């Protein structure tokens, strides 16, 4: 009897990661997953779907040569589809920028281009998850998550705030305006000014797409997924709505009306973003089925 480690993967029986081991007994190869000192038996090689288990494939044994060749050929064939879809999405997004910055009256065209680019990005994710994820997974994102959910959420917050600020020029026909009242001097006169913060729906769409993508490695854990989305989305909008207030003076933050309007603004922005995240997640499930067909 001989045995070889052929790669690293996730066990379908206990849902834990471990080493994929081939054992050759009487000329037949059997598949096991080794978790330290514990073993899980999966069955004969010809009855096990390795593509749904393997995360990292290693060319250790001659018996895996055909599998390695198949994976590499499959990988090479599909790998071009994802960059092409990404480039198409990016091109549509840049076109939206060009039109939006050039003339704000073309908001409908900007919104249409952003929606098309979003569809292209979602299709790229669906293709990735239908092919690479079972073999490699979200390697880079998983490494960040391995450091803890809090650092990952903070990373998302910074990214989302930057994305919202960067996409505000993508003026669309649909937009949300948040007006935060500010009490002005002199103190004996009740006068109010307003800070108007306008966020086009395109910013919500792109931010939601970013969060949807970053949440994909957490999809297997509903609790972590919910915590991540709530924390990252809420913190992102709190920071975003507080920044303009600080620019008008730190004393603004002590006014009672400020807290009420921040809470209202964050709640509306949160609901809008989460609604898009749910729609994008559902769309990914549909697109993955279409891709597999």
Task: Examine residue 75 and state whether it is found in any structural domain, yes or no.
Answer: no
Q: Is there a single domain that holds both residue 95 and residue 36?
A: no
Handedness of CA 232, 273, 178, 162 (dihedral sign): positive
pLDDT per position as a tens digit, 25-79 = 877 888 899 988 889 999 888 788 776 777 766 544 444 454 544 444 444 444 5
Q: Based on the structure, what is the number of domains in the chain?
A: 2
Q: Do 221 and 253 reside in the same domain of the chain?
A: yes
Rounded (10°) CA dihedral 14, 18, 19, 22 = 0
Q: Is the peptide bond before 186 cis (omega within 30 degrees of 0)?
A: yes
Is residue 148 domain-resident? yes
**Domain with 10 in it:** 2-64
Shared domain for 91 and 38, answered yes or no, is no
Instruction: Pick the more confident residue, 102 or 268.
Output: 268
Same domain, 60 and 152: no
Comparison of pLDDT for 127 and 100, the residue scoring more: 127
Q: Look at residue 136 in the predicted model and tell me its pLDDT.
A: 56
| Domain membership flag for residue 74 | no
The whole-angstrom separation of Cα 151 and Cα 157 is: 10
Whether the predicted model's global pTM rises above the 0.75 cut = no
Counting Cα atoms < 13 Å in the Cβ hemisphere of 197 gives 23
* Residue 99 confidence (pLDDT) above 50: yes
The answer on pLDDT for 23 being more than 90 is no
C-beta of residue 33 within 8 angstroms of C-beta of residue 42: yes
Q: What is the DSSP letter of 198?
A: E
Q: How far is CA 18 from CA 6, 9, 47, 217, in A?
A: 11, 6, 19, 18
Most confidently modeled of 146-150, 209-213, 215-219?
A: 209-213
Calculate mean pLDDT across residues 75-84.
60
Residue 116 has pLDDT above 90, yes or no: yes
Mean pLDDT lowest among 60-64, 100-104, 270-274? 60-64
Q: Does some domain include residue 71?
A: no
pLDDT of residue 275: 97
For residue 191, being part of any structural domain is answered with yes
**Residues 190 and 256 both lie in one domain:** yes
* 77: enclosing H helix or E strand: helix 65-79
């Amino acid at each position: 009897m001989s045995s070889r480690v052929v790669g690293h993967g996730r066990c379908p029986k206990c849902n834990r990661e471990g080493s994929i081991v081939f054992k050759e007994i009487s000329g037949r190869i059997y598949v096991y997953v080794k978790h330290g000192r514990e073993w899980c038996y999966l069955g004969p090689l010809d009855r096990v779907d390795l593509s749904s288990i393997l995360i990292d494939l290693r060319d250790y044994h001659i018996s895996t040569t055909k599998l390695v060749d198949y994976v590499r050929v499959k990988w090479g064939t599909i790998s071009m589809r994802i960059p092409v879809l990404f480039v198409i999405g990016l091109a549509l997004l840049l076109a939206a920028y060009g039109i939006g910055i050039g003339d704000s009256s073309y908001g409908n065209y900007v919104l249409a281009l952003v929606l098309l680019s979003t569809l292209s990005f979602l299709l790229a994710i669906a293709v990735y998850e239908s092919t690479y994820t079972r073999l490699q997974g979200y390697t880079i994102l998983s490494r960040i998550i391995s450091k803890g959910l809090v650092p990952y959420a903070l990373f998302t917050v910074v990214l989302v705030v930057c994305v919202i600020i960067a996409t505000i020029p993508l003026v669309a026909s649909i937009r949300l305006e948040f007006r935060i009242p500010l009490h002005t001097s002199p103190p004996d006169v009740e006068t109010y000014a307003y800070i108007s913060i306008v966020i086009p729906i395109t910013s919500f769409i792109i931010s939601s797409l970013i969060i949807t993508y970053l949440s994909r490695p957490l999809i297997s854990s509903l609790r972590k997924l919910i915590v991540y989305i709530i924390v990252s989305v809420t913190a992102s909008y709190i920071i975003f709505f507080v920044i303009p207030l600080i620019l008008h003076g730190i004393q603004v933050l002590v006014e009672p009306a400020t807290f009420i309007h921040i809470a209202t603004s964050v709640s509306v922005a949160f609901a809008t973003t989460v609604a898009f995240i749910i729609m994008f997640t559902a769309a990914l499930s549909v697109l993955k089925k279409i891709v597999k067909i």
